[in-house]
Amino acid sequence: MVSAAIGGTLAPAARTGAVEARDVSKRFIQPDGGEVTALSSLNLTILPGEFVSLIGPSGCGKSTFLRLVAGLISVTAGTLALDGAPINSTGADRGLVFQDPTLFPWLSVRGNVAYGLKIRGVYKEKRGEIQRYIDLVGLTGFEKSYPHQLSGGMAQRASLARALVNEPKVLLLDEPLGALDAFTRMSMQDEILRVWRERGTTMIMVTHDVDEAIYMSDRVFVMTPRPAKIERVIAVEIGRDDNLGRSRDDPDFLRLRAEILRILQFAGKKRQPEYFL
């Protein structure tokens, strides 16, 4: 597969999957008639095949942005587009993976992965792809297993395969590893990066873990408290290892972590003047 430079590294070339938000705002009406503004005049551009993370305070609107890109909700103001086309509804060109696997308990791994193809009416033409994606996420041999028979990491792999089998242009990851133990989480980080390398899919991940964002991403979008805007865009210009991850004790890794934590501390705040004696 032809490769293209992304974030100073090599990843599969991708010509689709560009996401652009221009002055995007989202307001929700409360049961009492009041309003909550989750996003306000948010602007960002995500390149085809890029891996980016959204990080910010809890409740700032990170997951709201993912739901907007998924087409589950619509913008209140501004424009949001995928490859130049306005996002007005859900579509198979966008996949969404949640923190909890949300697998259908009455279906096997194979049945869960096949579900989206059946809903789209393309199962007969695409059923040969099911095994390929089960293999891709490392679940070979577990095709007939049911969700209650899987570990948390394995269930999340099945969710990943279910999203990827539709071959989306963009994969949206809403804290997909937040419920896993530390060791499984690190293993799954490498698994997701391996899938990213092999598929070349644009990936947008919400995470609260600064280390995870630096380890996995080409760029990190730091968001302000609600109503959220993009406070800073951090390019992660640290070389990747053979697994596409990064050395967590690299001095540049530690420097970026400190920088992002500092930005998060002051995001959306007016800084007090500093005086030096």
Q: How much is the pLDDT for 10?
A: 38
List the one residue out of 174, 160, 197, 194 whose CA is nearest residue 50.
197
Give the global pTM: 0.89
Q: What are phi and psi of 78, to 5 degrees?
A: 90, -175
Q: Give the whole-angstrom CA distance, residue 231 versus residue 215.
A: 20
- Contact, 152 vs 176, CB < 8 A? no
Q: How much is the pLDDT for 3?
A: 36
Q: How many C-beta atoms surround the C-beta of residue 215 within 10 A?
A: 23
Q: How much is the pLDDT for 5?
A: 38
Write out pLDDT tens, residues 91-109: 999 999 998 888 999 999 9
Which helix (H) or strand (E) segment is 270 a member of? Answer: none
Q: Give the whole-angstrom CA distance, residue 200 versus residue 211.
A: 23
Q: Would you kindly state where each structural domain of the chain is located, as residue ranges? A: 1-49+58-87+206-277
Q: Give the whole-angstrom CA distance, residue 201 versus residue 167.
A: 8
Q: Hey, what are 72's tokens?
A: 């589950």
Q: How far is CA 168 from CA 87, 91, 122, 164, 200, in A?
A: 14, 9, 14, 6, 10
**10-residue mean pLDDT series, the chain (277 residues):** 38 75 94 88 96 92 95 96 95 91 94 91 89 92 96 92 93 91 90 91 95 96 92 93 84 94 76 42
Which helix (H) or strand (E) segment is 234 a member of? Answer: strand 230-235
